[in-house]
Amino acid sequence: MAEDICFLTKESLIIKPPKKSPLLWRMTVLVFATVFGVYICSICLKQISIQTMTRFQSIKNIEWPLHNNKLLENSYRHYPMPKTFSRAECACNPVRFFAILSMQRSGSGWFESLLNSHKNVSSNGEIFSVRHRRESISSIVQTLDKVYSLDWYSSASKNECSAATGFKWMLNQGLMEHHSEIVQYFNRRGVSAIFLFRRNLLRRLVSVLANSYDRYAKLLNGTHKSHVHSEQEADTLAKYKPTINCTNLITDLKEMEMATAKALEYFNSTRHMIVYYEDINRSKLKVVQEFLGLPRMKLTSRQVKIHNGSLSDHIKNWEDVQKTLLGTPYEEFLRLGY
Ligand SMILES: *[C@@H]1O[C@H](CO)[C@@H](O)[C@H](O)[C@H]1NC(C)=O
Ligand SMILES: *[C@@H]1O[C@H](CO)[C@@H](O)[C@H](O)[C@H]1NC(C)=O
Ligand SMILES: *[C@@H]1O[C@H](CO)[C@@H](O)[C@H](O)[C@H]1NC(C)=O
Ligand SMILES: *[C@@H]1O[C@H](CO)[C@@H](O)[C@H](O)[C@H]1NC(C)=O
Ligand SMILES: *[C@@H]1O[C@H](CO)[C@@H](O)[C@H](O)[C@H]1NC(C)=O
Ligand SMILES: *[C@@H]1O[C@H](CO)[C@@H](O)[C@H](O)[C@H]1NC(C)=O
């Protein structure tokens, strides 16, 4: 294991038994002093680790599956040895494994681009959008193994100096279907989950409908785009206003809510945190970086929000939608600005 290479200095503590000689007494004193020094040092280390433990406990939204935080911390630090390259000067830096668990059109593209702006993060995109990789639990495990051995290659790969590596995974890409095996895998391999959800499910629905319309309408010079990098492009895409079928609206919103709740329930025993799209700001990103054990950096993204401003500007049959939702638990979706 790379761990052994990183902590070879332990061997220098081994003291050879002294030969019968006038030096015996001096050696005994030396050994005693060394042992005493190590003992004092271990007490110091223990105190330091208690401090970091309390710091970790104060982070909100993190639920630990075990009670021994110290043990847990270690089992989420990895020293992978990729087959395709050498970790070189970063071989002794630990790597955290993560997965962003989300639903389509919930801001995960933006969130991932923010994470990837960190020089030590490799988030490899939606790798399970390719069907054969999620065909069975064994193909899923094979894919996960490749990602977490750092041998997965994508444009986001930072290779030797990754301190956190992962990808984003949509709930409908085999994640819910094979949840119990995946939870086992996460807990066995020390993978942390970051749930990314959107509070305003009506806005999500608008985005789903508009994106699926653009899939064939291809509003931007004949190419379909799910994410844009300029306000001009955002304006072009937002010109299309979807009509929402109000017959099923309440049921659809309820189903989205249930899927979220179910995912949280299934993955409750993993080390995880929950991020809501609407809450992402600098301080939230700080907490995410701490959760992933990263040196803190300012994260940036070039992506521009497509459906900016009031929802009434983005839905064709706004009156009907309003009538349908007034007086229901989903009424606030009409007003929430984001
Ligand atoms: C982050 O990456 C830089 C190189 O880009 C490297 O020098 C540094 O050690 C890395 N930090 C961690 C914690 O891996
Ligand atoms: C379409 O392409 C033209 C020229 O290639 C460019 O100037 C224009 O900005 C593009 N429009 C959009 C909406 O991307
Ligand atoms: C709305 O959905 C219902 C049930 O799926 C369907 O019967 C109806 O035709 C849809 N209405 C429109 C306008 O598409
Ligand atoms: C997760 O587990 C904790 C403690 O076991 C429990 O209090 C909480 O309600 C669970 N959450 C979900 C979403 O099941
Ligand atoms: C970030 O959002 C939270 C609420 O989600 C808020 O309390 C906090 O002040 C915001 N921080 C910044 C730096 O905007
Ligand atoms: C959203 O729209 C407002 C004005 O309506 C504008 O000031 C702001 O920059 C826009 N934000 C994004 C992300 O496009």
- Starting from the CA of residue 119, give the closest ligand: 1
3-state secondary structure of 63: strand
Overall domain count for the chain: 1
Q: If pLDDT is split at 50, 70 and 90, which confidence band does 41 have? A: very low
> 52 in a domain, yes or no?
no
Higher per-residue confidence, 255 vs 70: 255
> 230 in a domain, yes or no?
yes
> 151 in a domain, yes or no?
yes
pLDDT of residue 216: 79
> 227 in a domain, yes or no?
yes
Residue with CA nearest ligand 3 atom 6: 247
| Mean pLDDT to the nearest integer, 230-242 | 87
> 16 in a domain, yes or no?
no
C-alpha of residue 331 to centroid of ligand 1, in Å? 47
Closest atom of ligand 1 to 163 CA is 14
pLDDT of residue 25: 73
> 4 in a domain, yes or no?
no
Q: If pLDDT is split at 50, 70 and 90, which confidence band does 60 have? A: very low
> 267 in a domain, yes or no?
yes
Q: Give, for ligand 5, the residue of 274, 277, 283 to mutate: max count of ligand atoms closer than 8 Å to Cβ.
A: 283
| 304-333 exposure pattern, b = at least 16 Cβ within 10 A, e = fewer | bebbeeebeebbeebeebeebbeeeebeeb
Please give the residue range of the domain that contains residue 283.
74-335
Tens digits of residue pLDDT in 147-191: 999 888 888 777 778 899 999 999 999 999 999 999 999 999 999
Tens digits of residue pLDDT in 129-154: 999 999 999 999 999 999 999 888 88
Supply the pTM of this predicted model.
0.79
- Starting from the CA of residue 110, give the closest ligand: 6
pLDDT of residue 8: 47
Is residue 119 lining ligand 1, measured as CB closer than 6 Å? yes
Q: Give, for ligand 5, the residue of 284, 285, 286, 289 to mutate: max count of ligand atoms closer than 8 Å to Cβ.
A: 284
C-alpha of residue 277 to centroid of ligand 5, in Å? 12
| Mean pLDDT to the nearest integer, 124-132 | 95
Q: Which CATH number fits the domain that encloses residue 229?
A: 3.40.50
- Separation in Å, CA 254 to CA 224, 249, 257, 258, 259: 29, 9, 5, 6, 9
